[in-house]
């Protein structure tokens, strides 16, 4: 088997690289649009089904995070063994249909099930995409392509708020929508249905992409799930890195899940009025943050790339701590929007390189599984516990008119502190830049 050394430029046509990167980034954007439309619709859903804040936290946390996490490893195994382009296309179509199904839910249980289906579909997109890009590019070129891919959450999240608020306002004025064979849908249900269906078209476009050839070391190594877990848990750098992004994901999902509701409850607007400004901020500032993230790569040598990059990311999270504490004193909509912008730019800068260690320090046939494990940590713990914790704390402070605000600040501040400390500890640990040499050679490769 021909060996391709890490760091070499792989002979992939530039147009093919650009097309693949753009379509995968669009898929990531669409996943976040389908994912983040829920926070904008939480208040009408809460009233429709008479939900508590804890149940709302479960919809965005447990229903999405836990099932996303459980599906991530399974789909990661499939990514390491089968046609990655096909897996990505099927996942895009599946989560689009699941999002549309959220609009057909008639009670909390049905919405919970539809939400879990959305998570299962989205869990396979990133492992497949990161693996595809890692076989088309290397070194700094790979990090730049990954940063383009990682603008997806900010494009998708911003468009979810902008288009979602426009659609909600339209369907509210129209009194909902009548669908043949289904019947009348409420305005919030109509929004889910309309925004979920474009995934089918994008899935068809992704399916037309060419599957890249896997570049491997030429050695027969054990790349089973067990070996992947052993590799991860034997690396202090990866463990601290995973912990950092558990905290980071917790803070990000707290912001995405609860900030629209917080604006409404603090009297800064309604669901139909806050969506467009929040979406514009999320889109514009998030994109600026992704572009500005390239500054973190300045004057970094490839031999010490990860350690220096992680230290700079730690400094970004440290800045978030006093900002979170200061938000408790915000009393105007303008200051609330400014705070939101500050949080978005921090998250956009640091999350641009969220899978850098996996891409740079994990063997090819382990990347899908390693990404799945990474996502499992993030979504089982961070994305689930963070939003749920805010809901539980808010319910326990029912007598406090600013109970949701207090809970929001507490969880966001703890998440920022945990991320800053963990990522710094990760930067002080050595990584095996050529991990293939340190893995046990075995005659069986790729077994589960």
Structure confidence by residue, pLDDT tens digits, 313-355: 888 889 989 998 899 888 889 999 999 999 999 988 888 777 7
Predicted local confidence at residue 137, as pLDDT: 72
**pLDDT tens-digit profile of 229-242?**
787 788 788 888 88
User: Do the domain assignments include residue 89?
Assistant: yes
Predicted local confidence at residue 414, as pLDDT: 92
How many domains, the chain?
A: 1
Residue 299 structural domain: 14-213+221-434
User: Do the domain assignments include residue 2?
Assistant: no
Predicted local confidence at residue 340, as pLDDT: 93
User: Do the domain assignments include residue 246?
Assistant: yes
User: Do the domain assignments include residue 440?
Assistant: no
* SS3 assignment for the chain: CCCCCCCCCCCCCHHHHHHHHHHHHHHHHHHHHHHHHHHHHHHHHHHHHCCCHHHHHHHHCHHHHHHHHHHHHHHHHHHHHCCHHHHHHHHHHHHHHHHHHHCCCCCHHHHHHHHHHHHHHHCCHHHHHHHHHHCCCCHHHHHHHHHHHCCHHHHHHHHHHHHHHHHHHHHHHHCCEEECCCEEECHHHHHHHHHHCCHHHHHHHHHCCCCCCCCCCCCCECCCHHHHHHHHHCCHHHHHHHHHHHHHHHHHHHHHHHHHHHHHHCCCCCHHHHHHHHHHHHHHHHHHHHHHHHHHHCCCCHHHHHHHHHHHHHHHHHHHHHHHHHHHHCCCHHHHHHHHHHHHHHHHHHHCCCCHHHHHHCCHHHHHHHHHHHHHHHHHHHHHHHHHHHHHHHHHCCCCCCHHHHHHHHHHHHHHHHHHHHHHHHHCCCCCCCHHHHCCECCCCCCC
User: Do the domain assignments include residue 52?
Assistant: yes
pLDDT at 288 over 70: yes
Distant-in-sequence, close-in-space partners of 201: CB < 8 Å, separation ≥ 6: none
**pLDDT tens-digit profile of 194-219?**
888 888 888 889 888 888 777 655 55
pLDDT at 447 over 50: no
Predicted local confidence at residue 442, as pLDDT: 37
pLDDT at 436 over 50: no
User: Do the domain assignments include residue 441?
Assistant: no
- What CATH number is associated with residue 81? 1.20.1250.20
Mean pLDDT for all residues in the chain = 79
User: Do the domain assignments include residue 447?
Assistant: no
User: Do the domain assignments include residue 9?
Assistant: no
Lowest mean pLDDT among 46-55, 229-238, 274-283, 371-380: 371-380
Largest CA distance in the chain: 67
Predicted local confidence at residue 70, as pLDDT: 74
Q: What is the mean pLDDT of residues 75-103?
A: 85
Which class for 221: exposed (0-12), middle (13-18), buried (19 or more C-beta within 10 A)?
buried
């Amino acid at each position: 088997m021909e060996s391709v050394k890490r760091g070499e430029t792989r002979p992939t046509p530039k147009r093919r690289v650009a097309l693949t990167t753009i379509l995968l980034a669009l898929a990531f954007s669409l996943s976040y649009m389908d994912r983040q439309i829920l926070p904008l619709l939480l208040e009408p859903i809460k009233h429709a089904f008479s939900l508590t804040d804890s149940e709302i936290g479960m919809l965005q946390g447990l229903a999405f995070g836990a099932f996303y996490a459980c599906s991530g490893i399974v789909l990661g195994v499939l990514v390491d063994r089968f046609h990655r382009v096909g897996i990505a296309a099927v996942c895009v179509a599946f989560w689009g249909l699941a999002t549309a199904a959220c609009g057909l839910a008639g009670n909390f249980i049905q919405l919970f099930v539809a939400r879990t289906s959305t998570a299962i579909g989205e869990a396979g997109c990133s492992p497949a995409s990161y693996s595809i890009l890692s076989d088309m590019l290397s070194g700094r070129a790979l990090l730049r392509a990954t940063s383009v891919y990682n603008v997806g959450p900010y494009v998708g999240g911003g468009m979810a708020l902008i288009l979602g608020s426009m659609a909600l306002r339209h369907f509210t004025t129209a009194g909902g929508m009548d669908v043949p064979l289904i019947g009348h849908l409420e305005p919030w249900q109509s929004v889910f249905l309309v925004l979920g269906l474009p995934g089918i078209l994008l899935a068809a476009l992704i399916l037309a992409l060419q599957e890249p050839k896997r570049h491997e070391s030429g050695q027969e190594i054990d790349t089973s799930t067990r070996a992947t877990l052993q590799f991860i848990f034997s690396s202090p750098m990866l463990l601290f890195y995973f912990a950092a992004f558990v905290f980071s994901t917790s803070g990000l999902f707290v912001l995405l899940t609860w900030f629209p509701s917080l604006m409404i409850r603090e009297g800064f607007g309604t669901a139909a009025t806050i969506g467009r400004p929040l979406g514009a901020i999320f889109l514009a500032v998030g994109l600026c943050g992704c572009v500005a993230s390239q500054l973190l790569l300045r004057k970094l040598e490839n031999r010490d790339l990860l350690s220096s990059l992680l230290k700079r990311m730690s400094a970004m999270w440290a800045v978030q701590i006093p900002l979170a504490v200061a938000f408790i004193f915000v009393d105007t909509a303008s200051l609330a929007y400014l705070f939101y912008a500050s949080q978005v730019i921090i998250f956009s800068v640091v999350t641009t390189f969220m899978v850098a260690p996996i891409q740079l320090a994990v063997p090819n046939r382990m990347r899908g599984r390693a990404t799945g494990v990474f996502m499992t940590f993030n979504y089982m713990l961070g994305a689930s516990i963070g939003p749920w914790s805010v809901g539980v704390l808010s319910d326990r402070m029912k007598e406090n008119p600013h109970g949701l605000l207090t809970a929001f600040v507490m969880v966001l501040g703890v998440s920022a502190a945990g991320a800053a400390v963990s990522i710094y500890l990760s930067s002080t640990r050595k990584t095996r830049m050529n991990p293939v040499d340190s893995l046990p050679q075995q005659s069986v490769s790729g077994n589960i």
